[in-house]
Amino acid sequence: MTQRAGIEPGGPEPGRGAGSGSAAIDAGAELDPVHPVRPPAPRFRPGGLTTAEVAERLARGDVNDVPVRSSRSTVDIVRANVFTRFNAIIGVLWVVMLFVAPLQDSLFGYVIIANTGIGIIQEMRAKKTLDSLAVIGETKPSVRRDGSTAEISTSEIVLDDVIELGPGDKVVVDGVVGEADGLEIDESLLTGEADPVLKKPGDPVMSGSFVVAGGGALTATKVGREAYAAQLAEEATRFTLVHSELRSGISTVLKYVTWMMIPTSVGLVISQLVVKDSNLKDSLARTVGGIVPMIPEGLVLLTSVAFAIGVIRLGRKQCLVQELPAIEGLARVDVVCLDKTGTLTEGGMDVTELRPLGGAEPPYVKKVLGALGESDPRPNASLQAIIDAYPDSAEWRCTESLPFSSARKYSGASFSEGDGENSTWLLGAPDVLLPAGDPALDEIDDLNEQGLRVLLLARASRELDDASVAAGARPTALIVLEQRLRPDAADTLRYFEDQKVHAKVISGDNAVSVGAVAGKLGLPGAENTVDARRLPPEPHEMAAVLDENAVFGRVTPQQKRDMVGALQSKGHTVAMTGDGVNDVLALKDADIGVSMGSGSEATRAVAQIVLLNNSFSTLPSVVAEGRRVIGNITRVATLFLTKTVYSVLLAILVVCWGVDYPFLPRHLTLLSTLTIGVPAFFLALAPNKERARPHFVRRVMRYAVPGGAIAAVATFVTYLLARHHYTGADALKAETSAATLTLFLVSTWILAIIARPYTWWRIALVGAMGGTFLVVLVVPWLQDFFQLRLVGTQMPWIAVAAAASAAALIEFVFHWVDRRFPA
């Protein structure tokens, strides 16, 4: 797994394969699985293309012009908000009303136009936020041109460009390896095979894979829509990858509403136009008045607006939500798996102590460390701290290198020393390089218990390309590193504890060291650490250990993935945070993946949420935003569907009794606006820390069905009593007014229940809606506009009494539902 220094680039050796998963790499030619024959590799040019050659390729369109889709297009947003099933129904009814009824009865159409416009504007604002953040968070690959290296946008890459690769880099175009220095590529996101593939010059690589160890360079052979990853992206866009229980639940509700509407509407039309011998225009108006409120037209709109505003709010905190429903997903999370490095600690480290072992001389040890630092062109945080502390003296020449791998936990290099002597050195985890029971481990445990990170420098007695190179290595020195804790990590962990979200620290570092860091941050259970090498392989047994403990060390990348799967098998909704390439597999499999903005390109590519400011403290804001959206939409969905239920039942009762429908469209527009539309808008955007719970449809319908049924019966009883009480030319207006009063009072009571727990502004909101309705009843021109006038005193008080009885019954039923069908 090593690469000789100074290797000349060129084609592959005869008969050499590319390793696991490589046969499918070339997206063009079909390959014989038994005797693979590759198309000839392009000539590798170490200095890259010239400016003239780049211009030539740009002119003929050989450029990586795949658009980055961080959100829906403008056309998609407009289409989704305008061309809906219910908008089509309402549009037809609106046109009918414009011809047969006064303007007042057509108000519902203007309300729909206004609501749809608001939805489009909010989603466009969210799109603008997403797109701008996507540009900020875009990684720029290093490309060689005219003999020098520069970072450019992925959309500027042209055919035959030479692209440099290092640990954590994502392969952005299809290509052929030209240089390789221990280059290991993970193709699991494309092939499903988790084992990294060692790549050599001449081997093909696919876009969408990423580098886990080593480095090198490739020549771009397929760019733009011809690249493999681009072809996959066309099959599923980012916008809809995450499952949204909220949206699927609303879709389920709307499907059933549609089936209820059809027979009810037909019966109402026949009842009002055929059975009742009345004025045609008035019958049409009342028929439309019965159909329109059955449609929960604002529910889908309000959900889109809530998501959009959530994206805008998080965008202001430098949080890129790559898939909108991810806001909802993180709010449902009950376990969050945290990678220590880069999440609980900052990326940088400092060398605090150097402890020579076995009589090694400190100056010699420092020289070895300086040479090791120079041997790796793309050092990780640990090696960078060593480089900063012990710069290279340039006396030794590196002849062979072994890049660091999170799977094996060490790196290495062979040197030709200044006096002609050759030596091989390993640098990595002491408990991996040393055998169990080694005396040096006791000293290391004491340091780990203080939260310090310890690396072992060991001299190997075997060749670097020997699979057992670590066996028999002689310990030479301990390098003690101090990790910088994130100042906001403790508060964030405390937030998760308060919210009953279990935090699990999963790290590749020593378990005791990880536990010490977690303990400093106040993580519950940090004192009980688990070495992942002793975890049971069976998912069920592993899940039991994961449930009982909070800190895990020496976790391999594949184990991280297995741990996420084990937690999910126990019914947990799992979020995974990370910034390193070793986190990619777990991020991909978790319900929600969260990446740091400074992390590798591979982690940002698979994560649904990217914290561009690298601030762990942003996570509570994302959780809170998701809970606000879900909790509030659940509240307001009850209002919308209660209206649907009472509208359907009222229509059925009217058909069965053979009477005029009690309401004109203007009446129900007024009621919907005051008891649903305006309050729902404010309630949907209010703070809400209630933990998200599953079974959205069941939780909404358990209130909407009894609430709507009681409201319909109370209103219809009042209407029937009013029909017997009033006589004369204006009897129908008086009957409608009494029924409207009852329905408004019952609906307002349901609104008051939904608005609990009360705050000053919620009380003011309910009071303002009641005050507005009172104004309509007492101002003469509003009475005429809405055709509402309470006649006498007896019938209005009967209407109030019916509403009070219904309100009391609703309170009783809701309490019974809470006990009988808990959420």
Length of the chain: 823
Which of the two residues, 460 and 306, has the higher pLDDT score? 460
Report the pLDDT averaged over residues 577-594.
81
β-partners of residue 338 are 505, 577
C-alpha span between 428 and 478 (Å, rounded): 10
CA distances from 207 to 150, 174, 744 (A): 20, 5, 60
| Lowest-confidence segment of 9-23, 286-300, 432-446, 753-767 by average pLDDT | 9-23
Q: State the pLDDT at residue 352.
A: 87
Answer yes or no: is pLDDT of 60 > 60.
yes
Answer yes or no: is pLDDT of 745 > 70.
yes
Answer yes or no: is pLDDT of 71 > 80.
no
Kindly give, in sequence order, each residue whose CB lies less than 8 Å from that of residue 157, ignoring residues fewer than 6 positions away: 63, 64, 141, 143, 163, 172, 173, 220, 223
Report the pLDDT averaged over residues 136-150.
82
Answer yes or no: is pLDDT of 232 > 70.
no
Answer yes or no: is pLDDT of 12 > 70.
no
Element spanning 510, H or E: none
Q: State the pLDDT at residue 749.
A: 96
Answer yes or no: is pLDDT of 614 > 70.
yes
Report the pLDDT averaged over residues 653-680.
87
* Fold designation for 74-127+241-311+623-820: Calcium-transporting ATPase, transmembrane domain (1.20.1110)
Single-letter code of the amino acid located at 413? A
409-418 own/partner pairs: CB under 8 Å, 24+ apart: 409/508, 409/554, 410/470, 411/372, 411/376, 411/383, 412/460, 412/464, 412/469, 413/371, 413/372, 413/375, 413/376, 413/464, 414/463, 414/464, 415/371, 415/375
Range 3-69+138-236 classified under CATH 2.60.120.260 = no
Report the pLDDT averaged over residues 5-31.
36
Answer yes or no: is pLDDT of 566 > 70.
yes
Answer yes or no: is pLDDT of 360 > 80.
yes
pLDDT band per the 50, 70, 90 thresholds, residue 78: confident
pLDDT band per the 50, 70, 90 thresholds, residue 469: confident
Report the pLDDT averaged over residues 510-533.
85
Answer yes or no: is pLDDT of 130 > 50.
yes
β-partners of residue 425 are 413, 459
- What letter would DSSP give residue 685? T
Answer yes or no: is pLDDT of 813 > 90.
yes
Which of the two residues, 622 and 783, has the higher pLDDT score? 783
Average pLDDT, the chain: 80
pLDDT band per the 50, 70, 90 thresholds, residue 229: low
Q: What is the CATH number of domain 349-482?
A: 3.40.1110.10
User: Strand locations in 300-386, DSSP E?
Assistant: 319-321, 335-338, 345-356
CB atoms closer than 10 angstroms to residue 304: 21
What residue segments make up the domains of the chain, in order of their start?
3-69+138-236, 74-127+241-311+623-820, 319-344+486-614, 349-482
- What letter would DSSP give residue 275? I
b/e 158-188 (16+ beta carbons within 10 angstroms → b): bbbbbbbbbbbbbbbbbbbbbbbbbbbbbbb
Q: State the pLDDT at residue 206.
A: 85
Tokens of 157: 């890459």
Q: Which of 203, 339, 562, 660 is an active site residue?
A: 339
Answer yes or no: is pLDDT of 32 > 60.
no
CB atoms closer than 10 angstroms to residue 613: 14
In the residue annotation, 419 being an active-site residue is answered as: no
Kindly give, in sequence order, each residue whose CB lies less than 8 Å from that of residue 274, ignoring residues fewer than 6 positions away: none
Phi/psi region, residue 427 (left: phi>0; alpha: psi -120 to 50; beta: rest), is beta
Q: State the pLDDT at residue 231.
A: 62
Q: State the pLDDT at residue 37.
A: 45
In which residue are the tokens 């400011």 written? Answer: 613
Name the percent of the chain lying above pLDDT 70.
Answer: 86
Report the pLDDT averaged over residues 602-618.
80
Q: State the pLDDT at residue 5.
A: 41
In which residue are the tokens 């005193």 written? Answer: 793
Tokens of 662: 């009690």
pLDDT tens profile 185-205? 877 666 555 567 888 898 999
Which of the two residues, 581 and 819, has the higher pLDDT score? 819
- What letter would DSSP give residue 155? G
CA distances from 817 to 699, 723, 823 (A): 10, 34, 10
Range 319-344+486-614 classified under CATH 3.40.718.10 = no
C-alpha span between 348 and 188 (Å, rounded): 29
Answer yes or no: is pLDDT of 535 > 50.
yes
CB atoms closer than 10 angstroms to residue 668: 24
Which of the two residues, 231 and 503, has the higher pLDDT score? 503
Residue closest to 560 by CA, chosen among 301, 805, 340: 340
Residue closest to 810 by CA, chosen among 715, 733, 741: 715
Element spanning 158, H or E: none
Q: State the pLDDT at residue 370.
A: 87
Which of the two residues, 697 and 158, has the higher pLDDT score? 158
Q: State the pLDDT at residue 687.
A: 78
248-253 own/partner pairs: CB under 8 Å, 24+ apart: 249/696, 249/697, 249/700, 250/299, 250/300, 250/303, 250/637, 250/696, 252/697, 253/296, 253/299, 253/637, 253/641, 253/697, 253/700, 253/701
pLDDT band per the 50, 70, 90 thresholds, residue 13: very low
Report the pLDDT averaged over residues 37-53.
76
Which of the two residues, 127 and 661, has the higher pLDDT score? 661
* Alpha helices (runs of H) in 45-106, residue ranges in sequence order: 51-59, 74-82, 85-100
Sign of CA dihedral 569, 570, 575, 580: negative
Distance of CA 70 to the CA centre of its chain: 12
C-alpha span between 517 and 580 (Å, rounded): 19
pLDDT band per the 50, 70, 90 thresholds, residue 3: very low
Residue closest to 126 by CA, chosen among 299, 327, 332: 327
Answer yes or no: is pLDDT of 1 > 50.
no
Report the pLDDT averaged over residues 137-147.
83
| Lowest-confidence segment of 60-74, 372-386, 604-618 by average pLDDT | 60-74
Residue closest to 687 by CA, chosen among 626, 640, 740, 641: 626
pLDDT tens profile 79-101? 877 887 777 877 887 888 888 77
Cis before 679? omega within 30:
no
Residue closest to 297 by CA, chosen among 116, 94, 118, 78: 116
Full-model pTM: 0.66
Single-letter code of the amino acid located at 658? G
Angle at the Cα of 138 from the Cα atoms of 582 and 592, rounded to 5 degrees: 50
Helix axis angle for 245-270 and 619-657, nearest 10°, is 20
Element spanning 388, H or E: helix 381-389
pLDDT band per the 50, 70, 90 thresholds, residue 709: very high
Phi/psi region, residue 731 (left: phi>0; alpha: psi -120 to 50; beta: rest), is alpha
Name the percent of the chain lying above pLDDT 90.
Answer: 17
Q: State the pLDDT at residue 6.
A: 38
CB 98 within 8 A of CB 106: yes
Answer yes or no: is pLDDT of 52 > 50.
yes
Q: State the pLDDT at residue 591.
A: 87
C-alpha span between 819 and 821 (Å, rounded): 6
| Lowest-confidence segment of 172-176, 688-692, 796-800 by average pLDDT | 688-692
CA distances from 327 to 243, 593, 690, 692 (A): 11, 11, 14, 11
CA distances from 630 to 255, 601, 700 (A): 20, 31, 12
Answer yes or no: is pLDDT of 774 > 60.
yes
CA distances from 340 to 13, 29, 509 (A): 42, 43, 8
Single-letter code of the amino acid located at 385? A
Backbone angles phi, psi at 148, to 5 degrees: -130, 165
β-partners of residue 63 are 158
Tokens of 167: 């640990």
Which of the two residues, 109 and 204, has the higher pLDDT score? 204
Report the pLDDT averaged over residues 452-478.
86
β-strand 410-416 against 397-405: which pairing, if any? antiparallel
Indicate the SS3 state at residue 333.
coil
Q: State the pLDDT at residue 518.
A: 87
Answer yes or no: is pLDDT of 684 > 50.
yes
Helix axis angle for 489-498 and 619-657, nearest 10°, is 30
Angle at the Cα of 470 from the Cα atoms of 467 and 475, rounded to 5 degrees: 165
C-alpha span between 581 and 598 (Å, rounded): 12
CB atoms closer than 10 angstroms to residue 128: 14
Answer yes or no: is pLDDT of 429 > 90.
no
Report the pLDDT averaged over residues 363-373.
88
Answer yes or no: is pLDDT of 239 > 60.
no
